[in-house]
């Protein structure tokens, strides 16, 4: 093997291991549509009902057809795989993630930082998830053979009515609810009491926040500072939600160009009309009923061959296969994204910045490029976009054996038993920004991390303390920790004071206000070491559109199934039938393309008037589920 090729393969392996398993989580969990399932449709089509041979020639004979109803209940398993797609490495083997504040003794470095969620610095809890998806489906199918128009011509349609329940099953075990409030400067101009904070993580996940805080911000009581602490508007979490609708309407127009008793071969074109729901991103695990509002067009092949018959022709073995491939056209959706290399950063706090800098300078008298504008909001609220999503190809392949026995139940009819395999594959999504709707505001937002956002000026005789918004940002902060207090937390008072000075923010430099008055850590008339000078960022580091990871998903599942069906073949014109079966589907787990840009290796995430691709990495997430189903039908000839 050539050395350049070896290097390329090695690089792909490194990227796949280090970038996907450690960093990427799915912004939207998508599944195969409840209506796109050949296991419910194809085995029901025994050759006493559809694809009938020798049923009239071109322009002759009446139409024939079949109508059947299939009811199915499905339930997901391997909930841990769903949780890993949604939360990545934050989930441990117990399906839980730790939430700990920056001042928890012996803090777990893998815990999510409670400070981000408006929780006390000594808060400690464990949040667990048991994701589960259930479906109850009534699938209505109709087939009509149109040999009277053209031999082998047929039309079919499918309308699955689906009730679906998506349960994140979030639960929280609070080890320590915490008593600490926040010192002046961390979130607000004045101290923030414990009573103003969220009760637990579940409260934050549901959108809870302290809201608008107005405080007197100088000793003379002549200045007030209002800080807005906003809650989640998108990617919120709840226990469960349901939705009932027709998933989609599917249509098939086909022609059997080979049609004999022991074999047939045909093809069809197909389309679907989206009647389900589309993602709106308000909730992290929102129910999907249908195919996310994609219109589909495609084609398929199908055929069978009876390779064994008994001498009395009462028993036979048949092999059958069918393939459906569709393209999912553009669907307008709303999705929430993380920042590049920062999984779950949608739940981190972002600072709104303003270029109108007032009273903030470095030692040389130079103002920063921007200053905190008194608004803190979760990143999810600024990285939620209206997007157009397309899927290149969706494939459903079914192959199975059928055993058939005639003169069953004292000659009343025919029994068939099917058992086989089903493969489902959906290629990686393609995402385009709807540029006329949402453009990211450049040089407006920055990561807060665990930085102090206000400094305090002590000046005059007697001393008067005034509040000045800083420009402190932490672009290197993660969901686990900021850069000042560190991943293991700080409990020593001297270390806490040192961390409050903003030593590890972006581009740190000592901060001053008008008249070269130093800005200090604490809201106090104390010029001793207990109130040291604070740093601010000169200059702050903004979140840019290129920092947003427009993560996509793809799917691959393998399914085994079996079905029994009985047909009352002793009838002449109206032929009833019924059956039942089960299926078990296994989703293939995490995976990724080596290239984390789009298929053309275009890493430019800028969005111009033509709405260029902004595709990021592609994560493989699928649904493992089992199902039981039963059908009844009647054919006419």
Whether 589 has a pLDDT exceeding 90, the answer reads: no
Percent of the residues in the chain that have a pLDDT greater than 90, as a whole number: 72
Output the CA–CA distances (angstroms, integers) from residue 144 to 153, 168, 246, in the order listed: 9, 42, 22
Q: Domain for residue 346, yes or no?
A: no
The predicted pLDDT at position 594 comes to 37
Q: Count how many Cα atoms sit within 13 Å of the Cα of residue 255 in the half-sphere of its side chain.
A: 5
Tokens 């009343």 correspond to 412
What is the spatial distance between Cα 126 and Cα 285, in angstroms, rounded to a whole number?
19
Catalogue the long-range contacts made by 496-502 (C-beta closer than 8 Å, 24 or more residues apart). Answer: 496/103, 497/521, 497/530, 497/532, 499/450, 500/183, 500/185, 500/186, 500/452, 500/534, 501/452, 501/532, 501/533, 501/534, 501/535, 502/451, 502/452, 502/470, 502/472, 502/534, 502/535, 502/536
Burial readout 268-277 (b: 16 or more C-beta within 10 A, e: otherwise): bebbbebbbb
The predicted pLDDT at position 464 comes to 66
Q: Domain for residue 363, yes or no?
A: no
Residues 576, 634: contact at Cβ < 8 Å?
Answer: yes
Whether 449 has a pLDDT exceeding 80, the answer reads: yes
- State CA 556 to chain mean position distance: 16
Residues 376, 228: contact at Cβ < 8 Å?
Answer: yes
pLDDT single digits (tens) 249-269: 999 999 999 988 899 999 999
Q: Rounded to a whole number, what is the distance in angstroms from the first to the last CA of the chain?
A: 63
User: DSSP 3-state helix, strand, coil percentages of the chain (rounded to 5)?
Assistant: 10, 45, 45
Residues 264, 306: contact at Cβ < 8 Å?
Answer: no
Burial of 24 (0-12, 13-18, 19+ CB in 10 A): buried
Domain CATH for 313: 2.40.128.130
Range list of H helices, 562-615: none
Whether 447 has a pLDDT exceeding 70, the answer reads: yes
Q: Domain for residue 568, yes or no?
A: yes
Q: Domain for residue 451, yes or no?
A: no
> What global pTM score does this model have?
0.89
With helix as H, strand as E and coil as C, how does 76-134 read?
Answer: EECHHHHHHHHHHHHCCCCCEEEEECCCCCCCCCCCEEHHHHCCCCCCEEEEECCCEEE
pLDDT single digits (tens) 463-492: 667 899 999 999 999 999 999 999 998 889
What is the spatial distance between Cα 415 and Cα 569, in angstroms, rounded to a whole number?
10
Query: Among 336, 327, 241, 239, which residue's Cα sits nearest to residue 291?
Result: 327
Total domains in the fold of the chain: 1
Q: Domain for residue 194, yes or no?
A: no
pLDDT single digits (tens) 332-367: 999 999 999 999 999 999 999 999 999 999 999 999
Lowest mean pLDDT among 273-287, 546-560, 600-614: 600-614
What is the spatial distance between Cα 156 and Cα 432, in angstroms, rounded to a whole number?
34
What is the spatial distance between Cα 201 and Cα 480, in angstroms, rounded to a whole number?
14
Whether 16 has a pLDDT exceeding 50, the answer reads: no
Output the CA–CA distances (angstroms, integers) from residue 357 to 279, 371, 422, 469, 514, in the order listed: 39, 6, 62, 9, 12
Residues 587, 413: contact at Cβ < 8 Å?
Answer: no
Q: Domain for residue 253, yes or no?
A: yes
Q: Domain for residue 605, yes or no?
A: yes
The predicted pLDDT at position 219 comes to 62
Residues 240, 167: contact at Cβ < 8 Å?
Answer: yes
What is the spatial distance between Cα 159 and Cα 579, in angstroms, rounded to a whole number?
19
What is the spatial distance between Cα 290 and Cα 276, in angstroms, rounded to a whole number?
5
3 state DSSP class of 524: coil
Q: Domain for residue 421, yes or no?
A: yes
Average pLDDT over all residues of the chain = 88
DSSP string, 458-488: EETTTTEEEEEE-----TT--SS--SSS-TT
What is the spatial distance between Cα 116 and Cα 378, in angstroms, rounded to a whole number?
8
Give every CB contact of residue 496 below 8 A, 6+ residues apart in sequence.
103, 485, 490
List the domain range (segments joined by +) for residue 250. 3-91+129-170+237-337+383-440+544-636
pLDDT single digits (tens) 193-233: 999 999 999 999 999 999 999 887 666 556 788 999 999 99
Residue 14 — pLDDT band, cuts 50, 70, 90? very low
What is the spatial distance between Cα 405 and Cα 580, in angstroms, rounded to a whole number?
17
Residues 65, 145: contact at Cβ < 8 Å?
Answer: yes
Whether 37 has a pLDDT exceeding 60, the answer reads: yes
What is the spatial distance between Cα 213 and Cα 360, in angstroms, rounded to a whole number?
22
């Amino acid at each position: 093997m050539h050395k350049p090729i070896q290097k390329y393969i090695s690089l792909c392996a490194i990227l796949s291991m280090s970038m996907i398993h450690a960093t990427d989580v799915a912004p939207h969990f998508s599944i195969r549509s409840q209506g796109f399932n050949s296991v419910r449709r194809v085995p029901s089509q025994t050759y006493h009902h559809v694809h009938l041979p020798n049923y009239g020639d071109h322009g002759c004979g009446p139409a024939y057809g079949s109508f059947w109803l299939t009811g199915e209940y499905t339930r997901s398993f391997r909930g841990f795989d769903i949780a890993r797609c949604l939360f990545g490495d934050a989930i441990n083997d117990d399906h839980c993630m730790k939430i700990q504040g920056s001042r928890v003794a012996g803090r777990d470095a893998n815990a999510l930082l409670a400070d981000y969620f408006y929780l006390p610095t000594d808060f400690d809890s464990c949040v667990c998830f048991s994701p589960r998806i259930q479906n109850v489906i009534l699938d209505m199918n109709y087939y009509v053979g149109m040999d009277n128009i053209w031999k082998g011509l047929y039309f079919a349609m499918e309308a699955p009515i689906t009730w679906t329940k998506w349960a994140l099953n979030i639960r929280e075990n609070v080890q320590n609810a915490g008593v600490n409030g926040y010192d002046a400067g961390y979130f607000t101009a004045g101290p923030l009491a414990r009573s103003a904070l969220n009760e637990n993580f579940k409260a934050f996940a549901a959108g809870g926040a302290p809201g608008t805080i107005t405080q007197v911000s100088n000793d003379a009581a002549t200045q007030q500072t209002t800080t807005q602490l906003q809650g989640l508007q998108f990617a919120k979490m709840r226990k469960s939600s349901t939705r009932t609708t027709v998933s989609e309407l599917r249509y098939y127009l086909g022609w059997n160009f080979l049609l004999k008793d022991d074999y047939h071969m045909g093809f069809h074109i197909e389309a679907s009309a989206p009647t389900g729901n589309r993602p709106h991103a308000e909730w992290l695990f929102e129910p999907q009923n249908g195919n996310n509002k994609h219109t589909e067009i495609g084609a398929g092949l199908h055929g069978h061959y009876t390779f064994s018959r008994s001498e009395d022709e009462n028993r036979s073995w048949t092999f059958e296969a069918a393939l459906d491939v569709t393209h999912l056209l553009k669907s307008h959706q709303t999705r929430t994204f993380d920042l590049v290399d920062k999984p779950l950063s949608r739940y981190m706090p972002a600072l709104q910045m303003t270029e109108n800098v007032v009273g903030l300078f470095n030692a040389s008298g130079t103002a920063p490029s921007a200053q905190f504008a008194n608004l803190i909001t979760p990143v999810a609220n600024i990285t939620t976009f209206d997007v157009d999503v397309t899927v290149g190809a969706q494939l459903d392949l079914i192959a199975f054996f059928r055993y058939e026995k005639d003169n069953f139940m004292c000659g009343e009819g025919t029994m068939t038993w099917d058992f086989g395999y089903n493969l489902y594959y959906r290629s990686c999504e393609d995402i385009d920004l709807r540029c006329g709707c949402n453009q990211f505001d450049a040089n407006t937002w920055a990561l807060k991390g665990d930085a102090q956002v206000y400094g305090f000026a002590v000046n005059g005789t007697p001393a008067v303390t005034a509040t000045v918004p800083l420009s402190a940002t932490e672009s290197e902060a993660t969901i686990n920790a900021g850069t000042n207090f560190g991943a293991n937390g700080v409990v020593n008072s001297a270390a806490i004071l040192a961390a409050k000075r903003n030593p590890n923010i972006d581009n740190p430099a000592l901060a001053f206000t008008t008249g070269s008055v130093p800005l200090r850590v604490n809201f106090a008339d104390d010029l001793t070491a207990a109130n040291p000078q604070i740093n601010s960022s000169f200059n702050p580091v903004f979140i840019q559109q290129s920092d947003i990871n427009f993560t996509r998903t793809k799917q691959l599942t393998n399914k085994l199934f079996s079905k029994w069906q009985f047909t009352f073949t002793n009838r002449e014109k109206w032929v009833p039938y019924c059956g039942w079966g089960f299926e078990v589907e296994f989703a293939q787990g995490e995976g990724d393309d080596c290239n984390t840009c789009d298929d053309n290796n275009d890493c430019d995430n800028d969005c111009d008037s033509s709405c260029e691709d902004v595709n990021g990495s592609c994560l493989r997430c699928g649904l493992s589920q089992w199902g039981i189903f039963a059908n009844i039908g009647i054919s006419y000839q």
